Structure 1
Amino acid sequence: MSDHGAPFDYHPLTEAEAGGETGWYSWNLVDRTRYNTAVLGELRVRGEGDRCRLRMFPERRHTNLGDNIHGAATLGLIDIALFATMHVIGSGNAGPSVTVELSTQFVGAGDPDRPLDAVTEIVRETGRMLFLRGECVQGEDVVTSYSGIVRKMKLRPAGKAE
């Protein structure tokens, strides 16, 4: 895994920091006032062969009135997982790109007392597009299945508006 110069706090975690597991990296924005970290909290990422696993640790603020993980928190995790996958196992920087499409099927309730993992694979990557699919899981329990398309954007020169 390489850094690709992304604006992420992307560094290996010790086994102690990763709860006794190995191979995890921090996946948090350097600017912690932005959505990823400010709303979803601390995120962890690791590559698992041809898949990327992005983990969040739900808190009460991520729950709905039924005391399950709110669908919006799950959708936020999935959207971030698309870019984490592009960065960790794809060929591109997870930087200036946009989600073109996201299709999600909620198939189970998320338990706020267990980590929620978005496990994503790349179906196809072209020069400008990335086609992905995955599942949000808690252990063997599937919470959502999803597919998405990301369009990779060109870096804009500093000071130039499009």
Structure 2
Amino acid sequence: MLIRCEGERSARLRLIEAEQRHSNIHNNVHGGVTLALIDVAMFATIYAVLGADAAGSVTLDLQNQFIGAGRIGEPLDVVSEVMQETRRLVFLRGTVEQGDHLVASFMGTLRKPSVR
């Protein structure tokens, strides 16, 4: 996987190639793989965009809408944007894309680790 910042508040995480092991019985990217990739991308985004160590953070909320099937054999990108940061929470939204094809959209909330 690769990550890069896109603007001041956004990042793109790329699964270099969706492989057969990521497929469902219809030979598309399994929804569970897509959700796991979104979760990883949210943590990578707070690290890349905010410079915050995501270790110890937890996902509080993840709302997802599947829009189209992900294709095997192609890169799968999660583009996520930090919408708001508070002392304890980070609110994000984004999309899952394959080129011009939209696979999913999402909104999520991460809780930062407790300061000790």
Length-normalised TM-score, structure 1? 0.68
Q: Residues 57-111 of structure 1: CA distance to partner in whole angstroms, max 9, x if unpaired?
A: 2111100010000000000000001100100002411211000000000000000
Aligned residue identity for 1:69: V
Task: Please identify which structure carries the higher strand content.
Answer: 2
* Distance in 2 separating the partners of 1:142 and 1:90: 26
* Distance in 1 separating the partners of 2:85 and 2:75: 29
Pairing partner for 2:85 from 120, 125, 133:
125
Root-mean-square deviation (CA, aligned residues, Å) is 1.1
Secondary structure of residue in 2 paired with 1:74: helix
* Partner in structure 2 of residue 154 of structure 1: 114
* Partner in structure 1 of residue 47 of structure 2: 87
* Partner in structure 2 of residue 159 of structure 1: none
* Distance in 2 separating the partners of 1:63 and 1:136: 16
**Which ranges of structure 2 fall in alignment gaps of 5 or more residues?**
none
Pairing partner for 1:53 from 12, 17, 25:
12
**Identity of aligned pairs, percent?**
46
Secondary structure of residue in 2 paired with 1:150: strand
Larger Rg computed on CA atoms: 1
1:77-116 matches, within 5 Å, as 77-116=37-76
Length-normalised TM-score, structure 2? 0.94
Of structures 1 and 2, the one with the larger relative CO (CA 8 A, separation 6+) is 2
**Which ranges of structure 1 fall in alignment gaps of 5 or more residues?**
1-42, 157-162
1:1-80 matches, within 5 Å, as 43-49=1-7, 50-56=9-15, 57-80=17-40
